[in-house]
Amino acid sequence: MSRDTVRVRFAPSPTGYLHVGGLRTALYNYLFAKKNGGAFVLRIEDTDRSRYVEGAVENLIDALRWAGLDYDEGPGKEGGVGPYLQSERLEIYNERVAQLIEDGKAYRCFCTPERLDEVRKKAQAEGGQPKYDKHCLALSEEEANAKLDAGEQCVVRLNVPEGETISFEDRVRGTVSFSSDTLDDQVLIKSDGYPTYHLANVVDDRLMGITHVIRGEEWLSSTPKHVLLYQYLGWDVPEFAHLPLLLNPDRSKLSKRQGDVAVEDYRAKGYLPEALVNFVALLGWTAGDDREFYELEELVEAFTLERVNKAGAVFNVEKLDWLNEEHLKKQSPEALLPAVRAAYEASDIKNKSASDDYLVKIIPLMLERVTFPSEIATTAPYFFDAPTEYDEKGVKKRWKDDAAENTRALADAYEKLDAPTKDDYERVLREVAEKKDLGAGRFIHPARLAATGVPGGPGLFDVLELLGKGEVVARLRAAAERLG
């Protein structure tokens, strides 16, 4: 596999739903791959069996597809370097670990949890860093085999050298260096026989031809261990890019305690995938200008790792809402129809007989006034049910002493029309106002209250045309009677 071809991966653990931080990592990998004519690989890191959640893999794939981030290789899309589930690659990891043990780069550790706890407490009491003391490194091969034959459980640890500086280049942070004395002898194979993230991650990235490792900042401190593994196995180190943390408005790390963090949460609330993708793209990256609205194809064109920030990015829901409104305006009524109908059917609106054609006509009138597609029907129930109550403040401000009389006159004039259009409703209203020598506003505001029950909304004559003459006349007469 050519190392000249860009290959990146998104490697989530199936422990639940897709976190918005995971969506951003997937997005940046996707954008980088598409920008550079490369491949975007999905790999499922499911070796921590204690945290595995049934159905999580399907949820992850569904969330990525909903967001428009289709992977080139992964589960169900074989690319010649699978399997793409780590739990199906155990033999591969065992081969590499055997090589590391033979070369003295890793060793078996038989220490009990009790001894490890003692080592940790002793180090803390002495003011040192709580890490493993290499006790089992001194075991001979014969001693280790004897313990294995006796049925003792063990793990395999990385043999971290002492007194060395481990450095690597990061596309976001520049040169990053760690002292090996701060690193623990990381467990590579657990007592259950499954590899840890660190071993499986390095082996799979190499064997899957990954050229650029783009992941969250939380993995930065683990990277020197990964660099050691690459060196110990005689492999070239890929390029790294560690993305900034996502923060709550109070600059604490984004967590469920302060709000929704799962992609599914935002999907269920009615956010458009285009808006959520646009939003997370801007959490730590900018094209260097003031632009904020992007379609996915435009993000591909604009994205570079060099414009990713080091500083944490604040998750601002107000900005997400604004982007959702902007993307909503770009949608066709037909595309929004399923969401609008679902909300309409689930609402407490009494009249449930509206056709798809009728709903499609409502959508353009409401797009400028809502954040979510589901609000298009539910915030304007007057399109379906005649008002039984009238906004108190609107009545006090707009229903003047002559409003009932003027509204009846308007109803009489409308009743004489034959299949009136929006222009007919407006023309007749102005004619009636002129005959009475009054401003059009003395008819428009009471007519809106009568037709909708509220003082604001889409254009009055658009609403009247959609309601139809019979319904309009009935509502005008009802309001004149009730409000007096």
Catalytic residues: 256
Q: Are 417 and 424 in contact (CB under 8 A)?
A: yes
Rounded to whole angstroms, the maximal C-alpha distance in the chain is 110
